[in-house]
Amino acid sequence: MRRYPAYDPPEYVDWSCRPEELERYRATLGADPERAGLLSQLGRDDLLGVYADLLRTRLHDIALKRWVRTGVLSKAWLGTGEEAVTVGAVAALDRSRDVVAPMIRNAGALAMMGMPLDEIFRGYLALPDSPSGGRDLHMGALTSGVLQPISHMGTSVPVTAGVALAFRQRGESRVALTWVGDGATRTAACHEGLVTAGALGVPAVFVLQNNQVALGTPLTEHGAGSLRAWASAYGLEGLDADGNNVLDVWAATRIAADRCREGRGPVIVYVETFRMGGHATHDEREARDTFDPALFRAWGHRDPIGLYEAFLADAGISAEVLSGIEANVSGEVDMSAEDAIRSFGEFDRSPESN
Ligand SMILES: Cc1ncc(C[n+]2csc(CCOP(=O)(O)OP(=O)(O)O)c2C)c(N)n1
Ligand SMILES: [Mg+2]
């Protein structure tokens, strides 16, 4: 995809795929016969749809960053570098009936679940014609199967367990999925939710999204032991996936969702990835000081979008096809953002209007 020096992490600006990274990407996808079998069922349109979703997720964040730079917003929470965790998981669900509870890094899930992009952008401007009517920047829409989060980390875990319980009690073949940040795992709510989900055997998928950091605290300083062990600790089924490999996340989540539908209880999908920016746009420099630059360089080589492009090219998809998709998605994102700004201009903000 086109790179944006003013907005991309420096490691992404002159990005090219290292042969060993493509090799690793392909090896991961072939390592497990069950996953490889599922992936072989994906057609060209499915693969290109995932590409469009990855692009939309990245470009949505770039649009927000542009708004911050130009003074439209004071700050924005972005998911740069973590797009595959969101896109792979949502793509693996049955979006006509399943439900997701996204966190701040998972904003890409909203459009994927069917929420219109212009409404999402209006949400960041807190406009009355946005999903929450301007009341809250946390967005969701039950009609699209998106539970609106609250700010308190970890709370989506018991809520998702409860939604999954309702699905089972009604005899519906539906799955509820949420993402749990490494920091969010440290909350009581997360613990209670996982215990409850396991005890009741509900059809819930918990994507444990380890991006190595919680706000300004590295993973190594906010807990001991490995989060990889959590599934067995809670008596849940556990799967690992490469968080920068969208198809691996897809395959693991599809297996997890299938198990849920078969009544085999909740699954933790554990993924490792890396936050390529700050907690939000305000602390990007501090985030750079938090970690050794070598870590940014190492994860920078693993840009989930660049890797997927290299995989698609290797699978015979032409550069013209990919750039055509990019032009469409880029136009869609720009138009949606402009539409939201227009809406902002039209809205009467005088005190008398309240
Ligand atoms: C219960 C609670 N404690 C603290 C906060 C402040 N807070 C917001 S996000 C965050 C870090 C979240 O880290 P993680 O779960 O790893 O998600 P990430 O930001 O890395 O995606 C913190 C401490 C909060 N929102 N809720
Ligand atoms: Mg984190």
pLDDT digits (tens, 9 = 90+) for 244-296: 999 999 999 999 999 999 999 999 999 999 999 999 999 999 999 999 999 99
- Cα of 47 vs centre of ligand 2, distance in Å, is 28
Q: 22 burial class (0-12, 13-18, 19+ CB within 10 angstroms)?
A: middle
Residue of the nearest CA to atom 22 in ligand 1? 215
Q: How confident is the model at residue 148 (pLDDT cuts 50, 70, 90)?
A: very high
pLDDT of residue 192: 98
Which of 83, 150, 152, 153 has most ligand 1 atoms within 8 Å of CB, for mutation?
A: 153
Mean pLDDT across 25-50: 98
C-alpha distances out from residue 332 to 55, 116, 121, 127, 167, Å = 11, 11, 12, 20, 34
Atom number of ligand 1 nearest to Cα 152: 26
Atom number of ligand 1 nearest to Cα 184: 15
Distance from C-alpha of 122 to C-alpha of 52, rounded to nearest angstrom? 21
Distance from C-alpha of 148 to C-alpha of 137, rounded to nearest angstrom? 10
pLDDT of residue 322: 98
Contact, 122 vs 340, CB < 8 A? yes
User: Ligand 1 pocket: which residues have CB below 6 Å?
Assistant: 105, 151-153, 181-184, 187, 211, 213-215, 275, 279
The CATH homologous superfamily to which domain 44-343 belongs is: Thiamin diphosphate (ThDP)-binding fold, Pyr/PP domains (3.40.50.970)
At 238, list the tokens: 């556990």
Average pLDDT score over the chain = 96
Q: 33 burial class (0-12, 13-18, 19+ CB within 10 angstroms)?
A: exposed
C-alpha distances out from residue 207 to 222, 258, 262, 343, 344, Å = 19, 15, 19, 35, 35
- Cα of 319 vs centre of ligand 1, distance in Å, is 39
Residue 353 has pLDDT above 70, yes or no: no
Residue 347 has pLDDT above 90, yes or no: no
pLDDT of residue 132: 86
Atom number of ligand 1 nearest to Cα 279: 19
Q: Where are the domains of the chain?
A: 44-343
At 69, list the tokens: 């730079």
Q: Could you tell me which residues are beta bridge partners of residue 204?
A: 176
C-alpha distances out from residue 265 to 69, 169, 234, 340, Å = 45, 13, 12, 41
Global pTM exceeds 0.85: yes
For the chain, give the percent of residues with pLDDT over 90: 94
- Cα of 352 vs centre of ligand 2, distance in Å, is 42
- Cα of 20 vs centre of ligand 1, distance in Å, is 34
Q: What is the DSSP string of 183-227?
A: TGGGSHHHHHHHHHHHHHT-SEEEEEEE-SEETTEEHHHH--S-G
Atom number of ligand 1 nearest to Cα 210: 16
Residue 153 has pLDDT above 90, yes or no: yes
Residue 81 has pLDDT above 80, yes or no: yes
Length of the chain in terms of residues written:
354
Contact, 130 vs 123, CB < 8 A? yes
Q: How confident is the model at residue 121 (pLDDT cuts 50, 70, 90)?
A: very high
* DSSP strands (E only) in the chain: 99-101, 176-181, 204-210, 213-214, 217-218, 237-242, 267-272
Question: Helix 44-69 crosses helix 246-261 at what angle (to 10 degrees)?
Answer: 110
- Cα of 215 vs centre of ligand 1, distance in Å, is 6
Q: Which residue has the higher pLDDT, 73 or 133?
A: 73
Q: How confident is the model at residue 75 (pLDDT cuts 50, 70, 90)?
A: very high
Residue 348 has pLDDT above 90, yes or no: no
Q: How confident is the model at residue 33 (pLDDT cuts 50, 70, 90)?
A: very high
Which of 78, 82, 215, 273 has most ligand 1 atoms within 8 Å of CB, for mutation?
A: 215
What is the pairing mode between strands 217-218 and 213-214?
Answer: antiparallel
C-alpha distances out from residue 20 to 13, 17, 25, 153, 347, Å = 20, 8, 9, 37, 52
Atom number of ligand 1 nearest to Cα 189: 1
Residue 196 has pLDDT above 60, yes or no: yes
Distance from C-alpha of 300 to C-alpha of 141, rounded to nearest angstrom? 34
- Cα of 311 vs centre of ligand 1, distance in Å, is 33
Query: What one-letter code names the amino acid at 13?
Result: V
- Cα of 223 vs centre of ligand 1, distance in Å, is 14
Residue 354 has pLDDT above 60, yes or no: no
C-alpha distances out from residue 194 to 227, 249, 253, 262, 265, Å = 13, 21, 17, 19, 11
pLDDT of residue 351: 65
Residue 232 has pLDDT above 90, yes or no: yes
Residue of the nearest CA to atom 9 in ligand 1? 215
Q: Which residue has the higher pLDDT, 241 or 353?
A: 241
